[in-house]
Amino acid sequence: MTYVKAFDDIRTLFASEKLAKIRNYQPKHFSFNVEGGRCEVCKGDGEVTIEMQFMADVHLECEACKGKRFKKEVLQVTFQGKSINDILNSTIDDAVTFFTKHKETRIAKKLKPLQDVGLGYVTLGQSSSTLSGGEAQRIKLASFLVKGTRQDKSLFIFDEPTTGLHFHDIKKLLKSFNALIENGHSIIVIEHNIDLIKCADYVIDLGKEGGKLGGELIFQGTPEELIKCKNSYTAPYLAEKLK
């Protein structure tokens, strides 16, 4: 959520609520990264770490905030019945629906690119350290999409961005790729997913095997031309998709 700058607007939204104004809360009070509204016992982590001298450290839920990372007074401020903790525990899909319903279109618009690249299941408050490599790549893609068109054109290189994605989410990812291309950018994707390969403008097939037995240029050209290459492991699988 930080990548697409939506958290700034959400904090401002909560700071504009009546109770927040009465208590003179500022947007910073709705961040668990700085002093003010965060739980000072766990410093906004939601857990405390007990160092063990000869064993692995033990992580326990913070007893003060019960893992919610904020002071209870801050959690009393709500927008349409939801506290800042409730919002951070919402998935991208649920948050887009929620903010759209309550006419907070600016926030919904900033979250939509995350949904468009197949990250609708991720929670708004999820730590970036818990994301897979493919998820991290797609978040960076979303952060670029939310900026809109730019005069400078860029070359994007993605390493297996479809990892873990359902077929319908791959279609969303392809739509995002096309949006970049339509704006004049270029994309190189290292990928094994046939559903994505079949949509490529140009394919470079390396192999045939992996490791020391790989690295040989097997084919270069369009997907339609690749299915005619008898020396490619990819060709027969791609042919099934292009029927």
Give the model confidence (pLDDT) of 111-151 as tens digits.
998 988 888 999 998 887 788 887 888 888 888 877 766 66
CA–CA separation, 195 vs 207, rounded Å?
A: 19
Per-residue pLDDT, 136: 84
Q: Spell out the domains of the chain, with CATH numbers in brackets.
A: 6-116 (1.20.1580.10), 137-241 (3.40.50.300)
Per-residue pLDDT, 165: 80
What token pair was written down for 217?
Answer: 């240029």
φ and ψ at residue 16, rounded to 5 degrees? -90, -5
Give the Å distances, CA to CA, from 106 to 9, 84, 109: 8, 17, 5
Per-residue pLDDT, 11: 95
| Segment 216-228 mean pLDDT | 95
CA–CA separation, 234 vs 192, rounded Å?
A: 9
Higher pLDDT, 175 or 189: 189
What is the pTM assigned to this prediction?
A: 0.73
3-45 pLDDT per residue, tens: 688 999 999 999 999 999 999 999 999 999 889 999 999 999 9
- Cα of 210 vs its chain's centroid, Å: 30
CA–CA separation, 139 vs 186, rounded Å?
A: 18
Mean pLDDT of the chain: 89
Higher pLDDT, 184 or 75: 75
Which residues, at least 6 apart from 231, have a Cβ–Cβ distance to it below 8 Å?
208, 218, 219
CA–CA separation, 12 vs 7, rounded Å?
A: 8
